[in-house]
């Protein structure tokens, strides 16, 4: 890595790291992330607004008497609920690369250093999003997530599967969201590894909406099925109430918010070199400094983020 730093600027390493992070995320890539990308610090609160729905009213026609109430339309005054997302998760990986004479290529840099550093961060972010949606306790750091939105609602369990998850269970998820008037696009189904294996053994699920594409074989994607873009995620825990039953989550993008902010660069003259890259509402920072006693370079990858359930009505969980 010492040789790599001489060849590759920290900005290039940070850019490559951001690409790895985005590719490794599954659940976190599917939720709402459209917030202003401003520099913030740990503990800051990012506010967004959740507007109320308007109602349609039938026009009764003009009244026969001039000035009657029917001559005027009803003007609604929409309100919006403030949704505060606290940036309370500062996650990092760090290691030391000892001095060595061998040069490191960009491929070796990615495979040997960046991937092992960014995969745990991606897993941590995915788990945080999932735990917030279902109200579970993180296995990574023991954080207890609320799992309810600002109206106090929790994600509804649509069905408790007796034995094996099948295509009809996915159809039941679709029906439940349709009944709740959830927007049709974009919708996602993220399966636990156990449910994924069961659904892939179901002929109706596998053959649904086939397009001849091999896209379903890569990037944890199972394809487009019954109105859902389907994925699997290894971070989905078993259902908390049963402890042994697997669960999967169906939701609209606006069900949950992930807010990530770029951390500041280390000021010049502080004995460290840093670079920050932000793209597509994701951000990563790399900080490196020579460790004289350890005879190597200390390297740290870190990011700052917060998650919050926005609307429980836009999500459902399948347990079984």
Decide if 159 contacts 172 (C-beta within 8 A): yes
Per-residue pLDDT of the chain (320 residues; tens, 9 = 90+): 444 454 457 788 888 899 899 989 999 999 998 765 666 778 788 776 665 666 677 766 665 555 555 556 677 776 666 678 889 999 999 988 776 654 555 566 777 788 889 999 999 999 999 999 999 999 888 999 999 998 899 999 987 777 889 999 999 999 999 999 999 999 999 999 999 999 999 888 888 765 444 454 445 677 888 999 999 999 999 998 887 899 999 999 999 999 998 888 888 888 888 999 988 889 999 998 888 777 788 889 999 999 999 999 999 999 98
Please check whether residue 141 is in contact with residue 90, taking contact to mean a CB–CB distance below 8 angstroms: no
Nearest to 134 by CA among 312, 305, 254: 312
Helical residues (DSSP H) of the chain, grouped into ranges: 2-7, 10-24, 106-109, 115-134, 167-179, 193-200, 203-207
Q: Across the strands, what pairs with 289?
A: 298
Contact 38, 261 (CB under 8 A): yes
Phi then psi for residue 91, to 5 deg, are: -115, 145
pLDDT (0 to 100) of residue 293: 78
Cα-based distances in Å from 158 to 135, 176, 249? 16, 7, 10
Which pLDDT value is given to residue 151? 85
Find the farthest-apart pair of alpha carbons in the chain and give their distance in angstroms, rounded.
94
Residue 218 neighbours by CB under 8 Å, 6+ apart: none
Per-residue pLDDT at 214: 46
**pLDDT at res. 72:** 67
Q: Alpha carbon of 156 to those of 57, 118, 124, 249, 257: distances in Å?
A: 30, 33, 24, 10, 18
> Within 13 Å, how many C-alpha atoms sit on residue 300's CB side?
16
In terms of Cα–Cα distance, which of 242, 221, 107, 225 is closest to 168? Answer: 225
Q: Cis (ω within 30 of 0) for the bond into 91?
A: no
- In this structure, are strands 256-261 and 273-279 parallel, antiparallel, or unpaired? unpaired
With vertex at residue 127, the alpha carbon angle to CA 121 and CA 131, rounded to the nearest 5 degrees, is: 150
Question: CA-to-CA distance for 39 and 210, rounded, in angstroms?
Answer: 43
φ/ψ (deg, to 5) at 30:
-100, -5
End-to-end, the C-alpha distance of the chain in Å comes to 47
d(CA 55, CA 243): 42
Dist. CA 206–CA 203, nearest whole Å:
5
Q: How many residues does the chain have?
A: 320
User: What pLDDT, on a 0 to 100 scale, did the predictor assign at position 280?
Assistant: 86
CA distances from 209 to 110, 135, 176 (A): 36, 32, 20
pLDDT (0 to 100) of residue 2: 44
Q: Please tell me the distance from the alpha carbon of residue 113 to that of residue 237, in angstroms, as a whole number.
A: 28
CB 230 within 8 A of CB 202: no
| pTM as predicted | 0.83
């Amino acid at each position: 890595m010492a040789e790599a730093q001489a060849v590759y600027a920290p900005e290039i390493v940070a850019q490559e790291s951001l690409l790895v992070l985005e590719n490794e995320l599954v659940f976190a890539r599917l939720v709402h992330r459209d917030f202003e990308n401003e520099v913030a610090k740990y503990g800051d609160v990012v506010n967004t607004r959740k507007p109320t729905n308007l109602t349609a009213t039938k026009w009764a026609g003009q009244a026969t008497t001039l000035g009657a109430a029917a001559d005027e339309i009803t003007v609604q005054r929409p309100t919006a609920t403030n949704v505060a997302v606290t940036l309370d998760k500062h996650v990092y990986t760090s290691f030391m690369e000892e001095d060595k004479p061998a040069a490191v290529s960009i491929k070796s840099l990615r495979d040997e250093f960046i991937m092992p550093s960014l995969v745990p961060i991606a897993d941590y972010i995915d788990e945080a999003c999932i735990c917030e949606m279902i109200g579970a306790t993180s296995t990574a750091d023991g954080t207890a997530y609320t799992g309810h939105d600002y109206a106090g609602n929790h994600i509804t369990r649509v069905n408790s599967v007796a034995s094996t998850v099948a295509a009809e269970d996915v159809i039941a998820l679709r029906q439940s969201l349709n009944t709740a008037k959830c927007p049709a696009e974009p919708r996602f189904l993220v399966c636990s590894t156990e449910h994924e294996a069961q659904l892939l053994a179901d002929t109706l699920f596998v053959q649904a909406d086939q397009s001849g594409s091999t896209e379903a074989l890569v990037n944890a994607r199972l394809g487009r099925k019954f109105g859902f873009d389907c994925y699997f995620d290894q971070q989905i825990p078993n259902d908390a109430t049963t402890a042994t039953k697997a669960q999967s989550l169906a939701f609209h993008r606006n069900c949950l918010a992930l807010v990530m902010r770029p951390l500041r660069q280390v000021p010049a003259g502080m004995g460290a070199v840093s670079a920050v890259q932000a793209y597509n509402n994701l951000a990563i920072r790399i900080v490196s400094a020579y460790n004289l006693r350890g005879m190597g370079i200390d390297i740290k990858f870190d990011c700052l983020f917060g998650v919050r359930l926005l609307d429980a009505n836009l999500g459902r969980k399948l347990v079984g």
